[in-house]
């Protein structure tokens, strides 16, 4: 099929990662808020990896 | 618990992406093969993750966490012995016939191998079952969101059903599969922090172990009853499941697990959509790798929940009791989410719950529309129409299937016992299935009459066994004993496993007996359908990890290692 599934997954994880970590940095410091930052960055990393993989295979 | 803006935004991003995938795929849906089989174009890893994800409905996630709390680590039997050997068997031995016969569905394979009536029996019961099970899981989901988030019963049902309907309507099986892969990653990333936070709260793995020993001893079991898997199964009374090792190995590990993973079109369809024979065979093997690790994602949270409940005064977390005084184990996973996740991550966790729910539902709907269109509509109602006609029929079946599941959810809400009875009925129909496929694929002498009456006999044996036995402490009725009580089992699970063993044996014996009495099929017509008459395919791939047999052995070895680690 013409669509590489890694593209939407990569995009979605990147967006969610930015949202989570951004919110974690800006929002009031509650007990577990730092988890938002860590986990958001982890999701961003996975998203970027997926995007890179899908870009690489298109060449 | 109220969600705030960031939670809603994350949930919203997810909805945009699942719909977007469906919409982006709509222009590739030109023929019925594109729509129902993804044009047999899916790469192995995508099909593998979808294979796993289609089975990973919300009921599975919530139910496994509940069992983790109720029975502890031994719940992993459902993931290890109760899934991995069957998945390896499907990939190594059975996929060549499903994929090689060019059958478009599992019932169609039965038509090719046996006859029309065997296909009809399987197709009709399967179609009814998929509708029913997606309705039941929708109902469970709606109860949960109602309890946790205060949403009305209809809200989560209509939102989920509407989104699933749209993306399958546009993109057919490909859309279901792509979204299942996306949902797989989301489920992993949504629940993994829960394990992390939870373990922190109970004092790490050692703290969890210590707390679970108290859980076990306070309930009158041996120390390891919540942390071991096999060493507690010497005697059914020694573990909270009420099972001994033979029932687990035969009932769950052989009959039920092979019956589900090797014959259920919901999962097999994902492998049939793979882009080559080799990819189709690797599909269940690739799925087996994450499957083996899922206990740590879905069962361990349940164990954490019960450990925290044991020390409720210091942990501040306790599972609420149900009306009858027993703990409400089903809330283990969702309550941990609400209790320990900060906003943001909470949105992600709720999104993961929705994702698991939708992947399960989409799996049911995409399997339903295929079986309906190919095995019921084309076979009995209108054959010989144009391909476009069947493609449109598939779209109509998608709409009707979703509407029927929503109706089933409402019925479940209104008449709970009707659903219990239906569930029981389907258990009877499914129990003997694997015997039919086993004989069909590996014994060329098995005939259509043998298969059909063997299946009926197996279902009858299941019903009889259920009607004559009762789990200890249960009342006569839908739990069993409705004929007369001849024997009792230590638990409902033990009774289920033995029902399956009897059904399988009855079907096996009767299929063999009737086959020997009826006229054999011409051997030429069985080429590609039966093991002995199909030329062995020589694998072209060089690397060992892309060949099914070595890959299957590696997966099995890893599974055995896990069992030893948690013996």
Residue of chain B nearest A30, judged by CA positions: B342
- Checking phi first, is residue B496 left (phi over 0); if not, alpha (psi -120 to 50) or beta? alpha
Q: Which residues contact B32 (CB under 8 A, 6 or more apart)?
A: B373, B387, B390, B391, B394
Q: Give the tokens for residue B187.
A: 């489920």
Q: Give the tokens for residue B234.
A: 């010497």
Whether residue B41 and residue A1 make contact (CB cut-off 8 A), yes or no, is yes
Whether residue B6 and residue A13 make contact (CB cut-off 8 A), yes or no, is no
Interface test with A, best of B344, B348, B352 (most A CBs within 10 A): B344
CA atoms lying within 13 Å on the CB side of residue B249 = 7
Distance (Å) from the C-alpha of residue B393 to the closest C-alpha of chain A?
22
Q: Residue B39 has what pLDDT?
A: 83
* Residues A19 and B10 sit within 8 Å (Cβ to Cβ): yes
- Give me the mean pLDDT over the A19-40 stretch: 81
CA distances from B42 to B13, B324, B544 (A): 25, 49, 21
DSSP string covering B22-77: HHHHGGG--SHHHHHHGGG-B-HHHHHHHHHHHT--HHHHHHHHHHHHHHGGGGGG
Phi, psi of B403 (to 5 degrees): -60, -40
CA atoms lying within 13 Å on the CB side of residue B546 = 13
pTM to 2 decimal places: 0.91
Whether residue B341 and residue A32 make contact (CB cut-off 8 A), yes or no, is yes
- Give me the mean pLDDT over the B52-67 stretch: 84
Given A5, A11, A35, which is nearest B345 (Cβ)?
A35
* Residue A5 at interface with chain B, using a CB cutoff of 8 Å: yes
Query: How confident is the model over B237-270, as pLDDT tens digits?
Result: 777 877 888 888 888 888 888 988 999 999 999 9
Q: Residue B431 has what pLDDT?
A: 84
Dist CA B28 CA B25 (whole Å): 6
Q: Residue B538 has what pLDDT?
A: 65
Q: Give the tokens for residue B463.
A: 């019903």
CA B513 from centre of chain: 32
Dist CA B462 CA B481 (whole Å): 12
CA B396, B379, B98, B439 torsion-angle sign: positive
Q: Residue B314 has what pLDDT?
A: 80
Whether residue A16 and residue B10 make contact (CB cut-off 8 A), yes or no, is yes
Whether residue A1 and residue B25 make contact (CB cut-off 8 A), yes or no, is yes
Q: Please, which residues 53-92 of chain B have a Cβ atom closer than 8 Å to chain A?
A: none
* Residue B183 at interface with chain A, using a CB cutoff of 8 Å: no
Residue B15 has pLDDT above 80, yes or no: yes
Helix (H) / strand (E) element for B489: namely: strand B487-489
Residue B313 has pLDDT above 90, yes or no: no
Interface test with B, best of A2, A3, A4, A5 (most B CBs within 10 A): A5
Dist CA B162 CA B406 (whole Å): 10
**Buried b / exposed e along B528-552 (16+ C-beta atoms within 10 A):** bbbeeebeeeeeeeeeeeebbeebb
- Give me the mean pLDDT over the B527-552 stretch: 76
Q: Which residue from A47, A50, A23 is spatially nearest to A35, judged by alpha carbons?
A: A23
Whether residue B13 and residue A19 make contact (CB cut-off 8 A), yes or no, is yes
Q: How confident is the model at residue B16 (pLDDT cuts 50, 70, 90)?
A: very high
Enumerate the residues of chain A whose CB falls inside 8 A of the CB of residue B46: 5
Residue A32 has pLDDT above 70, yes or no: no
Whether residue A46 and residue B13 make contact (CB cut-off 8 A), yes or no, is no
Residue B522 has pLDDT above 60, yes or no: yes
Q: Residue B541 has what pLDDT?
A: 60
Provide the 3-class DSSP secondary structure of residue B321.
Answer: strand
Q: Residue B72 has what pLDDT?
A: 85
Q: How confident is the model at residue B540 (pLDDT cuts 50, 70, 90)?
A: low
Q: Residue B117 has what pLDDT?
A: 92
Q: What angle do CA B506, B508, B511 make, to 5 degrees?
A: 100
Dist CA B208 CA B220 (whole Å): 19
Q: Which residues contact B535 (CB under 8 A, 6 or more apart)?
A: none
Chains A & B: contacts with CB separation below 8 Å: 82
Provide the 3-class DSSP secondary structure of residue B521.
Answer: coil
Q: How confident is the model at residue B417 (pLDDT cuts 50, 70, 90)?
A: confident
**How high is the ipTM of this complex?**
0.93
> What DSSP state is assigned to residue B480?
B
The percent helix, strand, coil of chain B (3-state, each to 5) is: 75, 0, 20
The percent helix, strand, coil of chain A (3-state, each to 5) is: 80, 0, 20
- Give me the mean pLDDT over the B348-362 stretch: 89
Distance (Å) from the C-alpha of residue B52 to the closest C-alpha of chain A?
16
Given B21, B197, B342, which is nearest A30 (Cβ)?
B342
- Give me the mean pLDDT over the B289-299 stretch: 92
* Residue A1 at interface with chain B, using a CB cutoff of 8 Å: yes
Looking up tokens 């469970």 gives B140
Query: How confident is the model over B172-231, as pLDDT tens digits?
Result: 899 999 999 999 999 999 999 999 999 988 888 888 888 888 888 888 788 787 888 887
Whether residue B193 and residue A35 make contact (CB cut-off 8 A), yes or no, is yes
* Domains, chain B: 5-21+34-414+536-565 (1.20.1730.10), 417-530 (no CATH)
Q: Which residue from B564, B443, B418, B421 is spatially nearest to B508, judged by alpha carbons?
A: B443
Q: Give the tokens for residue B216.
A: 């076990």
Residue B9 has pLDDT above 90, yes or no: yes
Helix-then-strand count for chain A, H and E: 2, 0
* Residue B453 at interface with chain A, using a CB cutoff of 8 Å: no
- Give me the mean pLDDT over the B346-358 stretch: 90
Residue A28 has pLDDT above 70, yes or no: no
* Residue B41 at interface with chain A, using a CB cutoff of 8 Å: yes
Given A1, A35, A46, which is nearest B28 (Cβ)?
A1
Q: Residue B422 has what pLDDT?
A: 76
Residue B41 has pLDDT above 90, yes or no: no
Distance (Å) from the C-alpha of residue B326 to the closest C-alpha of chain A?
31
Return the CA Rg of chain B.
Answer: 23
* Residues B229 and B563 sit within 8 Å (Cβ to Cβ): yes
* Residues B328 and B221 sit within 8 Å (Cβ to Cβ): no
Extents of the domains making up chain A: 6-58
Whether residue A3 and residue B343 make contact (CB cut-off 8 A), yes or no, is no
């Amino acid at each position: 099929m013409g669509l590489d599934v890694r593209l939407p997954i990569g995009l979605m994880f990147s967006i969610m990662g930015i949202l989570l970590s951004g919110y974690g940095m800006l929002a009031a410091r509650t007990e577990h808020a730092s988890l938002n930052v860590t986990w958001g960055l982890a999701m961003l990393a996975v998203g970027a990896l997926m995007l890179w993989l899908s870009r690489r295979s298109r060449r | 618990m109220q969600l705030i803006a960031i939670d809603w935004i994350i949930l919203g991003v997810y909805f945009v992406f699942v719909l977007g995938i469906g919409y982006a795929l709509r222009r590739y849906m030109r023929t019925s093969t594109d729509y129902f089989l993804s044009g047999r174009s899916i790469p192995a890893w995508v099909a593998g993750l979808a294979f796993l994800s289609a089975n990973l409905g919300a009921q599975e996630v919530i139910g496994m966490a509940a069992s983790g709390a109720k029975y502890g680590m031994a719940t992993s039997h459902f993931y290890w012995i109760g899934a991995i050997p069957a998945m390896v068997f499907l990939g190594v031995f059975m996929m060549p016939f499903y994929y090689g016969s060019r059958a478009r569905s599992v019932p169609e394979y039965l038509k090719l191998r046996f006859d029309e009536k065997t296909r009809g029996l399987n197709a009709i019961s399967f179609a009814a079952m998929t509708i029913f099970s997606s309705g039941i899981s929708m109902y469970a989901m709606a109860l949960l969101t109602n309890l946790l988030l205060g949403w009305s019963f209809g809200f989560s049902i209509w939102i989920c059903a509407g989104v699933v309907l749209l993306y399958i309507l546009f993109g057919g099986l490909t859309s279901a599969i792509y979204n299942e892969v996306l949902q797989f990653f989301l489920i992993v990333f949504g629940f993994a922090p829960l394990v992390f936070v939870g373990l922190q709260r109970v004092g790490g793995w050692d703290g969890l172990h210590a707390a679970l020993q108290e859980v076990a001893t306070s309930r009158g079991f041996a120390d390891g009853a919540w942390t071991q898997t096999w060493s507690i199964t010497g005697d059914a009374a020694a573990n909270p499941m009420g099972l001994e090792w033979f029932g687990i190995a035969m009932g769950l590990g052989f009959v039920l697990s092979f019956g589900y993973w090797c014959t259920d079109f919901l999962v097999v369809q994902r492998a049939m959509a793979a882009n080559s024979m080799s990819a189709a065979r690797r599909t269940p093997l690739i799925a087996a790798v994450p499957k083996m690790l899922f206990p740590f994602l879905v069962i361990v949270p349940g164990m954490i929940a019960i450990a925290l409940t044991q020390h409720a005064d210091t942990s501040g977390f306790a599972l609420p009791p149900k009306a009858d005084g027993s703990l409400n184990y089903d809330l283990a996973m969702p309550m941990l989410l609400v209790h320990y996740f900060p906003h943001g991550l909470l949105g992600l966790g709720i999104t993961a719950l929705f994702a698991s729910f939708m992947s399960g539902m989409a799996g049911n709907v995409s399997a339903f529309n295929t079986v309906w269109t190919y095995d019921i509509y084309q076979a009995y109602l209108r054959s010989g129409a144009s391909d476009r006609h069947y493609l449109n029929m598939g779209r109509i079946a998608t709409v009707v299937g979703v509407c029927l599941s929503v109706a089933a959810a409402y019925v479940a809400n209104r008449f709970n016992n009707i659903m219990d009875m239906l569930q029981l009925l389907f258990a009877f129909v499914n129990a003997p299935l694997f015997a039919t496929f086993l004989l069909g694929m590996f014994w060329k002498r098995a005939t259509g009459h043998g298969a059909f009456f063997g299946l009926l006999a197996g279902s009858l044996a299941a019903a009889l066994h259920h009607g004559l036995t009762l789990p200890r402490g249960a009342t006569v009725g839908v739990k069993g004993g409705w004929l007369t009580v001849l024997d009792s089992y230590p638990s409902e699970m033990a009774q289920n496993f033995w029902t399956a063993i009897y059904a399988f044996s009855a079907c096996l014996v009767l299929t063999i007996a009737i086959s020997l009495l009826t006229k054999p099929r011409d051997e030429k017509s069985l080429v590609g359908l039966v093991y002995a008459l199909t030329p062995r395919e020589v694998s072209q791939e060089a690397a060992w990890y892309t060949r099914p047999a070595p890959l299957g052995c590696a997966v099995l070895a890893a599974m055995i290692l896990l069992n030893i680690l948690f013996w």
